[in-house]
């Protein structure tokens, strides 16, 4: 059983490991299979795990692929909310795991597979209307995890918070070596993307009927991509990861480049980059933008804008295009 309690007043980004017997090792398994309990703090929750986690359910694709990257496929019993196609190297693994829901799984759908650990990258998944609150799962003895990007400080880079996710998940799941290797690999990729472009970017996530668009603001990976490449996110003053604005406001930003999220793997109307470009080139306010006239588009995999193992992909695509045009 997983014994879980909420600790009030904990620093939101804190993560503390206290193994029984005074050790700091997150997972200690003796030759006979004994497991030493550990105490974990994740975004304000304290959990004592007294047996190895073996039944993991994920609520969103970002969490699913993070676990794939840590080689945890065999422990996964259900996934949800596929934003785009998973990487080809993980397609067979994905198909072998039951899909609990095409959207975020409900509390009932999760209970049907009896998980002992639930992973998501977005705090908003843990509501009574969606997957159940962390308090509800705590009372059932089920551990929950949310990305540190949901509880980090404004001064912390989104990529460093993602790396903290790997480190914490690795310790909880006995995958410390996999986590360390992944952090090393991705930190190198982030460093490769560093430059000083001086360009203004807009990150167009989606379009909506009525001349509205969704742009990424200051709370998200898009803003980190702008910062790392020495660019300016034209809508970095907006408070949320996804912000709904008018096409007129979008056009007034007058960016040097429009970074367009392609979600073609999901297959919903308006998901492809081509469809979003068509909207821009036909809308009265947008079609006269310099970036639209000159087709200054940078197409990225939209799934990478959700904080995850995939986030280095849009960073490197944006950096490469900016370097090419410098």
pLDDT by residue (tens digit) across 168-182?
999 999 999 999 999
- Topology alike, domains 2-190 and 200-325: yes
Token pair belonging to 304: 């990478």
Compute the average pLDDT of residues 38-45.
86
Question: Percent of the chain beyond pLDDT 70?
Answer: 90
Strand order of the β-sheet with 38-42 is: 2-6, 45-49, 38-42, 18-19
* Residue 247 scores a pLDDT above 70: yes
Q: Quick one: pLDDT at residue 204?
A: 98
* Residue 32 scores a pLDDT above 50: no
Q: Are 313 and 164 in contact (CB under 8 A)?
A: no
CATH of 2-190 among 2.40.50.100, 3.40.710.10, 3.10.20.30, 3.40.50.1980: 3.40.50.1980
Question: In the chain, what are the helix, strand and coil shares in percent, each to the nearest 5?
Answer: 35, 20, 45
Compute the average pLDDT of residues 154-170.
94
- CA distances (Å), 82 to each of 87, 161, 301, in order? 12, 22, 13
Token pair belonging to 216: 């990424």
Q: Are 101 and 131 in contact (CB under 8 A)?
A: no
* Residue 12 scores a pLDDT above 70: no
Question: For 22-31, 121-130, 269-278, which range has the lowest pLDDT when averaged over its residues?
Answer: 22-31
Contacts of 200 (CB under 8 A, 6+ apart): 231, 232, 234, 253, 254, 255, 256, 257
Closest C-alpha to 276, from 183, 193, 207, 175: 207
pTM reported for the whole predicted model: 0.86
Only one residue has tokens 């087709």, namely 295
Compute the average pLDDT of residues 67-92.
96
Closest C-alpha to 206, from 277, 265, 158, 256: 277
Distance between CA atoms of residues 75 and 67, nearest Å:
9
* Residue 295 scores a pLDDT above 90: yes
Q: Where are the domains of the chain?
A: 2-190, 200-325
Q: Quick one: pLDDT at residue 33?
A: 62
Distance between CA atoms of residues 64 and 120, nearest Å:
8
Token pair belonging to 128: 């009574």
* Residue 266 scores a pLDDT above 90: no
Dihedral sign for Cα atoms in the order 158, 179, 97, 28: negative
Question: For 46-50, 218-222, 298-302, which range has the lowest pLDDT when averaged over its residues?
Answer: 46-50
Question: What's the pLDDT tens digit per position in 181-234?
Answer: 999 999 999 999 999 999 999 999 999 988 899 999 988 899 999 999 999 999
Strand partners, 298: 259
Q: Quick one: pLDDT at residue 50?
A: 85
Token pair belonging to 228: 């790392």
* Residue 305 scores a pLDDT above 90: yes
CATH superfamily of this structure's domain 200-325? Nitrogenase molybdenum iron protein domain (3.40.50.1980)
């Amino acid at each position: 059983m997983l014994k879980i309690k909420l600790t009030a007043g904990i620093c939101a980004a804190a993560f503390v490991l206290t193994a029984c017997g005074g050790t700091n090792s997150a997972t200690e398994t003796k030759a006979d299979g004994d497991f030493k309990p550990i105490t974990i703090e994740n975004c304000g929750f304290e959990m004592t795990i007294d047996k190895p986690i073996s039944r993991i359910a994920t609520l969103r694709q970002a969490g699913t692929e993070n676990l794939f990257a840590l080689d945890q496929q065999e422990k996964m019993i259900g996934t949800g909310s596929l934003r785009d196609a998973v990487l080809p190297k993980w397609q067979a693994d994905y198909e072998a795991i039951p899909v609990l829901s095409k959207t975020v799984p409900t509390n009932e759908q999760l209970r049907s597979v009896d998980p002992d650990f639930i992973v998501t990258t977005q705090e908003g998944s843990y509501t009574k209307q969606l997957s159940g609150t962390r308090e509800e799962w705590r009372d059932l003895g089920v551990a929950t995890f949310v990305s540190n990007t949901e509880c980090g400080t404004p001064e912390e880079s989104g990529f460093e918070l993602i790396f903290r996710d790997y480190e914490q998940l690795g310790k909880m799941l006995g995958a410390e070596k996999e986590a360390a290797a992944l952090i090393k690999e991705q930190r190198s990729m982030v460093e490769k993307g560093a430059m000083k472009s001086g360009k203004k970017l807009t990150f167009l996530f989606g379009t909506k009927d009525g001349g509205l668009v969704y742009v990424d603001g200051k709370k998200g990976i898009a803003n980190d991509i702008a910062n790392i490449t020495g660019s300016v996110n034209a809508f970095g003053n907006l408070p949320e990861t996804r912000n709904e604005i008018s096409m007129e406001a979008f056009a007034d930003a007058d960016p040097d480049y429009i970074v367009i999220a392609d979600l073609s793997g999901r297959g919903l109307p308006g998901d492809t980059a081509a469809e979003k470009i068509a909207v821009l080139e036909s809308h009265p306010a947008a079609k006269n933008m310099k970036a639209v006239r000159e087709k200054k588009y940078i197409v990225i995999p939209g799934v990478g804008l959700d904080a995850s193992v995939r986030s280095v992909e849009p960073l490197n695509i944006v950096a490469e295009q900016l370097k090419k045009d410098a």
